């Protein structure tokens, strides 16, 4: 059976990177006694697919991993067995059986929602409400996007689906996520720094992911609720 | 008002739950921050107010290396089984982190509680290789503990040391308050019990060291005086306190099958060097290779019962979720029920996609069969450690491996699908000649020839032979402890001989670093005077000396000069059989008579049978167990 698992990642666990998290879950499934389905091929490995990697330092309340199981497990038992084997800072919050022919999470991810909290060291020198209003009202928001092979100037405005100020030092972002369009929140913060004409420094803000969405008839639907 | 107070309370609890010593800003600015967060599966949290003794266990290297070590989890488990004690871990912060900690004056902390080491009752180092000595000093320094034992006060933890390097404690004798010689399973509890009693009475640190000195296996350096002769050799080594024993007896756990074993080892988040379950088949080694310190100091061989191992394998895999299990020992082919155990594990675990690894296996028909079942033949290589290139030289070092064994093993492996071979040799062994060096190239070539002599359809893949040489360093408690180590020039000459003779079209030749070898030699057989140079080198920036790219050789040489230490005195001098050694006060089980017998047989080139063929009266039979009594039950 195909299962979508939802979990949160908080506290010290935010320092565990994506590849280590993958190994962590492989071992957690074994400790939980799950009969995992294995991929076929040269090097069989557990069939498992994360929706969207979470960068080191980010926290989240809704991360997703799809897995294949040989045995039938109820939601209650699946969650209970896994939670008995989790480290402090990761908790399983959802267990959803998927249709056998459903697409895996990674291929349908469209957007993600984040809350960004600025630390003092960010050096905010103007009112955040006003800043964000003016920032997003620009015709284009240009930023240098670096990839492994190249650097190019990109307009990120169309990848910012929503931007909302929550308090004098925090804002909420909904950003394009996935294989087609992908915008990392730190790029938005870099663009805001540039707009404010202050020096951009990494890690001067905390990022918390709220949820990950698919595009269902032009509506954002949580990966947990979608039937795609 | 009330609502506000409630909110504060909730936030405060959250903070306590996930409290880390270091801020996000620090952790996000260093390599691999999860080295410093603890919180791993099976790590042990206790309420610090409910324990009486807090013990920081330290492997003085980075987390990924320290977490791969087999010994520390045993101590962690032993200590944490006690309700009155909380043992935690600490490793060397990498250079990026230690720099920040110094700038911001953050004291080094233990991973579990994230609290400063300085507040602990004990700080215990496991000392696995000589080149970690400056790292020990760095741990002390970052913790705010005085580097020299004599400068410590009642506010400092008791600093202990154990592991293979404590078979010559003296170079680090000034830095460690108490050494524990041998296996912790026997007397670690006695030390904790004594400490609790002492703490209740509120006596001084020095008073406790006196109590400790009476516990078997414990050596307190400051209770011994050392005198030197005019020629620089040791004149006397004598206790200066009634509590100090003239001889310290190595501790051995005789019943290895029922020894307490950690059944829930910690599962790191980071990919460590060895990310797997480890099964210890036996301790000790029957072989008696004359260069090998481990083969001498871990005697006698004590096997763990095969049924116990089967159970432990299942438990450990279940409790960790690891995908790999490794059967370890000094020479796994010598485990008497290896076949039964291996085939059981293959049958039991094969369908669970658990990999089985068997290092230290002699390549024969059984090994090939097992390796074909458990490894990907295309990807893996087979390893031979002939150690010496000629039969004469292999007889001198008592390596009971003939050319036929090696060639036949290679032939079998080639026919079974392997095409990658690794060969390990040493250079600079006692009595070694140019012919012995050339033999390394010749033997490597014979393996190449064996491959090409096979009919084409029997060869698989492209042949890949890698020959590596390291430089021989004589170690205490081996029959070679009296021999001189080669000078760097001599080593390089030998390396050149091998290199010139080696057919490099067919064989890759790689070698060890000669500078590290010189330093390691001084540490291996150094005396108490060497400590000053270690301190000097550390103060001038030496750290992570075992990491080739970090080694500051010139700084070390300057430190030796400044402290009046001549490396040649320690390394390049043949010793008389009656010279008093800095480690002679340790009773490691093997007697000096046995070592001298083996020294003479080495010079004659006479092979000594292994423990299962005949007893060579090494001195361990008195312990009343292990291989010495295998046939007598």
- What are B220-272's pLDDT values in tens digits? 999 999 999 999 999 999 999 999 999 999 999 999 999 999 999 999 999 98
Region A97-116 average pLDDT: 93
Tokens 């009112």 found at: A127
Region B161-187 average pLDDT: 96
Residue of A nearest to B22 (CA): A12
- What are B426-457's pLDDT values in tens digits? 999 999 999 999 999 999 999 999 999 999 99
**Chain B 332-371, CB below 8 Å of chain A: which residues?**
353
As a whole number, the mean pLDDT across chain B is 93
As a whole number, the mean pLDDT across chain A is 93
Least confident of A204-213, B34-43, B245-254, B365-374: B365-374
Query: Using the beta-carbon criterion (under 8 Å), do A27 and B40 form an inter-chain contact?
Result: no
- CA–CA dist A149, B173 (Å, integer): 54
Counting every residue written for chain B, the total comes to 633
Query: Using the beta-carbon criterion (under 8 Å), do A15 and B34 form an inter-chain contact?
Result: yes
Contacts 24+ apart (CB under 8 A), A95-101: A95/A3, A95/A4, A95/A5, A95/A6, A96/A3, A96/A4, A96/A5, A96/A6, A96/A224, A97/A1, A97/A2, A97/A3, A98/A2, A98/A3, A98/A4, A98/A66, A99/A2, A99/A227, A100/A1, A100/A2
Has residue B406 got a pLDDT over 60?
A: yes
At A42 the pLDDT is 63
Query: Using the beta-carbon criterion (under 8 Å), do A29 and B28 form an inter-chain contact?
Result: no
Pairing of strands B507-511, B464-471: parallel
The residues near B235 (Cβ < 8 Å, ≥ 6 apart) are B227, B228, B229, B580
Which percentage of chain A shows pLDDT scores above 70?
98
Has residue B17 got a pLDDT over 60?
A: no
At B632 the pLDDT is 61
Q: Please, which residues bridge with residue B118 across strands?
A: none
Which of B36, B321, B378 to probe by mutation at the A interface, max A CB count within 10 Å? B321
Domain with CATH 3.30.70.580 in chain A: 2-102
Least confident of A39-48, B317-326, B498-507: A39-48
Task: Report the CATH number of the A2-102 domain.
Answer: 3.30.70.580
- Pick B34's closest partner by Cβ from A16, A44, A85: A16
Considering only CB atoms, which chain A residues are within 8 Å of B38? Answer: 12
What dihedral do alpha carbons B186, B189, B195, B200 form, nearest 10°? -150
Backbone angles phi, psi at B480, to 5 degrees: -95, 10
Which of A31, A83, A122 to probe by mutation at the B interface, max B CB count within 10 Å? A31
pLDDT band at B8 (very low <50, low <70, confident <90, very high): very low
Which of B20, B35, B39 to probe by mutation at the A interface, max A CB count within 10 Å? B39
Whether the CB-CB separation of B299 and B590 falls below 8 Å is answered with: yes
ipTM: 0.93
Has residue B10 got a pLDDT over 70?
A: no
Residue of A nearest to B27 (CA): A15
At B461 the pLDDT is 87
Query: What is the separation of C-alpha B62 from the centre of its chain, rounded to a whole number of angstroms?
Result: 15
Region B34-39 average pLDDT: 97
Backbone angles phi, psi at A93, to 5 degrees: -115, -5
Helix (H) or strand (E) holding B26: helix B24-27
pLDDT band at B353 (very low <50, low <70, confident <90, very high): confident
Selected from 3.40.50, 3.90.25, 1.10.3470, 3.30.70, the CATH number assigned to the domain covering A110-222 reads: 3.30.70
User: Which runs of E-coded beta strand occur in B148-291?
Assistant: 158-162, 178-180, 218-219, 224-228, 234-239, 248-249, 277-280, 282-283
Has residue B95 got a pLDDT over 90?
A: yes
Considering only CB atoms, which chain B residues are within 8 Å of A29? Answer: 321
Residue of B nearest to A36 (CA): B352
At A83 the pLDDT is 98
Query: Using the beta-carbon criterion (under 8 Å), do B24 and A121 form an inter-chain contact?
Result: no
Region A199-211 average pLDDT: 94
Region B475-485 average pLDDT: 98
- CA–CA dist B559, B530 (Å, integer): 10
CB pairs under 8 A between A and B: 78
Class of CATH domain B276-361+590-633: alpha beta
At B5 the pLDDT is 38
Domain residue limits, chain B: 23-249, 276-361+590-633
> Which among B79, B56, B205 has a CA at the least distance from the CA of B139?
B56
- CA–CA dist A211, A174 (Å, integer): 9
What dihedral do alpha carbons B95, B69, B88, B206 form, nearest 10°? -90
Q: What is the end-to-end Cα distance of chain B in Å, rounded?
A: 78
> What DSSP letter does each residue of B559-620 carry, written as one string?
HHHHTT--HHHHHS-PPPTTPPPTTTTEE-SS-HHHHHHHHHHHHHT-----TTT-----SG
Considering only CB atoms, which chain A residues are within 8 Å of B315? Answer: none
Considering only CB atoms, which chain B residues are within 8 Å of A10? Answer: 18
Tell the burial category of A123 from Cβ atoms under 10 Å away from its Cβ (0-12, 13-18, 19+): middle
Backbone angles phi, psi at B151, to 5 degrees: -90, -5
Has residue B203 got a pLDDT over 60?
A: yes
The residues near A124 (Cβ < 8 Å, ≥ 6 apart) are A118, A131, A169, A196, A198
Task: Give A168's DSSP letter.
Answer: T
Asked if omega into B300 is within 30° of 0 (cis), the reply is yes
**Chain B 246-285, CB below 8 Å of chain A: which residues?**
267, 269-271, 275
At B6 the pLDDT is 37
Query: Using the beta-carbon criterion (under 8 Å), do B25 and A121 form an inter-chain contact?
Result: yes
The more confidently predicted of residues B365 and B585 is B585
Whether the CB-CB separation of B488 and B473 falls below 8 Å is answered with: no
Angle of helix B365-374 relative to helix B338-349, nearest 10 degrees, comes to 20
Pairing of strands A142-146, A205-216: unpaired
Q: Cα–Cα distances in Å, from B313 out to B200, B277, B326, B341, B375? A: 41, 8, 10, 10, 18
Check CB contact of B18 with chain A, cutoff 8 Å: yes
Has residue B1 got a pLDDT over 80?
A: no
Residue of A nearest to B18 (CA): A11
Q: Please, which residues bridge with residue B59 across strands?
A: B91
At B15 the pLDDT is 39
What sign results for the dihedral spanned by CA atoms B564, B129, B302, B480?
negative
Helix (H) or strand (E) holding B339: helix B338-349
The more confidently predicted of residues A39 and A127 is A127
């Amino acid at each position: 059976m195909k299962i979508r698992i939802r979990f949160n990642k908080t506290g010290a666990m935010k320092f565990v990177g994506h590849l280590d998290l993958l190994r962590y879950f492989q071992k957690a499934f074994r400790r939980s006694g799950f009969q995992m389905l294995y991929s076929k091929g040269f090097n069989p490995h557990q069939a498992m697919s994360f929706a969207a990697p979470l960068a080191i330092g980010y926290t989240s309340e809704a991360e997703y991993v799809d897995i294949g199981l040989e045995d039938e497990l109820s939601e209650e038992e699946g969650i209970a067995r896994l939670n008995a084997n989790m480290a402090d800072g990761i908790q399983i919050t959802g267990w959803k059986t998927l249709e056998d022919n459903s697409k895996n999470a990674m291929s349908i991810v469209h957007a993600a929602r984040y809350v960004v909290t600025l630390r003092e060291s960010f050096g905010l020198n103007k009112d955040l409400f006003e800043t964000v209003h003016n920032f997003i009202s620009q015709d284009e928001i240009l930023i240098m996007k670096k990839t492994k092979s190249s650097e190019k100037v990109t307009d990120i405005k169309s990848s910012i689906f929503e931007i909302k100020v929550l308090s004098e030092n925090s804002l909420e972002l909904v950003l394009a996520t996935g294989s087609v369009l992908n915008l990392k929140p730190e790029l938005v913060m870099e663009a805001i720094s540039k707009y404010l004409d202050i020096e951009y420094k990494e890690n001067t803000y905390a990022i918390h992911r709220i949820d990950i969405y698919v595009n269902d008839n032009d509506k954002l639907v949580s990966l947990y609720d979608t039937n795609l | 008002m009330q609502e506000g107070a409630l909110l504060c309370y909730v936030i405060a609890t959250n903070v306590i739950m996930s409290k880390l010593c270091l801020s996000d800003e620090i952790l996000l600015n260093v390599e691999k921050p999860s080295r410093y967060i603890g919180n791993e599966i099976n790590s042990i949290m206790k309420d610090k107010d409910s324990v009486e003794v807090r013990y920081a266990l330290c492997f003085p290297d980075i987390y990924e290396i320290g977490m791969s070590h087999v010994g520390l989890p045993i101590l962690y488990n032993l200590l944490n089984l006690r309700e009155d004690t909380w043992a935690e871990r600490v490793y060397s912060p990498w250079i990026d982190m230690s720099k920040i900690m110094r700038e911001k004056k953050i004291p080094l902390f233990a991973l579990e509680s994230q609290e400063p080491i300085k507040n602990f009752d004990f700080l215990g180092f496991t000392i696995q290789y000589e080149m970690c000595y400056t790292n020990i000093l760095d741990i002390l320094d970052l913790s705010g503990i005085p580097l020299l034992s004599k400068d410590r006060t009642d506010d400092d933890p008791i600093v202990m040391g154990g592991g293979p390097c404590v078979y010559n404690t003296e170079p680090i004798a000034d830095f460690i308050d108490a050494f524990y010689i041998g296996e912790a399973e026997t007397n670690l509890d006695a030390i904790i019990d004594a400490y609790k009693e002492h703490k209740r009475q509120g006596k001084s640190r020095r008073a406790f060291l006196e109590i400790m000195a009476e516990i078997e296996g414990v050596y307190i350096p400051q209770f011994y005086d050392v005198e030197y002769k005019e020629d620089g050799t040791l004149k006397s080594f004598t206790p200066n306190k009634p509590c100090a024993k003239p001889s310290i007896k190595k501790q051995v756990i005789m019943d290895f099958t029922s020894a307490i074993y950690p059944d829930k080892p910690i599962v790191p988040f980071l990919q460590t060097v060895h990310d797997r379950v480890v099964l210890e088949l036996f301790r000790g080694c029957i072989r008696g290779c004359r260069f090998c310190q481990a083969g001498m100091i871990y005697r006698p061989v004590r096997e763990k019962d095969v049924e116990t191992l089967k159970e432990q394998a299942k438990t450990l895999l279940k409790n960790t979720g690891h995908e790999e299990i490794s059967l370890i020992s000094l020479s796994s082919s010598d485990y008497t029920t290896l076949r039964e155990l291996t085939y059981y594990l293959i049958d039991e675990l094969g369908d669970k996609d658990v990999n089985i690894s068997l290092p230290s296996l002699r390549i024969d028909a059984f090994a090939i069969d097992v390796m074909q079942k458990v490894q990907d033949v295309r990807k893996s290589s087979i390893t031979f450690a002939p150690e010496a290139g000629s039969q004469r030289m292999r007889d001198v070092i008592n390596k009971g491996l003939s050319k036929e064994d090696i060639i036949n093993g290679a032939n079998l492996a080639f026919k079974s699908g392997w095409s990658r071979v690794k060969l390990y040799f040493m250079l600079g062994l006692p009595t070694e000649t140019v012919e012995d060096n050339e033999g390394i190239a010749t033997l490597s070539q014979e393996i190449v020839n064996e491959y090409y002599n096979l009919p084409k359809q029997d060869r698989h893949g492209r042949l890949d032979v890698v020959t590596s040489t390291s430089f021989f360093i004589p170690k205490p408690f081996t029959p070679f402890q009296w021999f001189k180590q080669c000078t760097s020039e001599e080593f390089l000459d030998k390396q050149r001989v091998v290199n010139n003779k080696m057919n490099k079209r067919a064989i890759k030749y790689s070698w060890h670093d000669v500078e590290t070898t010189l330093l390691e030699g001084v540490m291996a057989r150094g005396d108490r005077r060497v400590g000053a140079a270690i301190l000097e080198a550390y103060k001038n920036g030496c750290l992570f000396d075992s990491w080739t790219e970090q080694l500051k050789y010139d700084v070390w040489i300057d430190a030796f000069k400044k402290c009046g230490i001549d490396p040649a005195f320690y390394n390049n001098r043949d010793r008389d059989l009656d010279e008093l050694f800095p480690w002679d006060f340790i009773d490691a089980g093997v007697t000096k008579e046995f070592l001298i017998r083996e020294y003479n047989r080495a010079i004659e080139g006479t092979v000594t049978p292994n423990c299962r063929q005949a007893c060579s009266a090494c001195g361990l039979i008195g312990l009343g167990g292990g291989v010495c009594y295998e046939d007598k039950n």
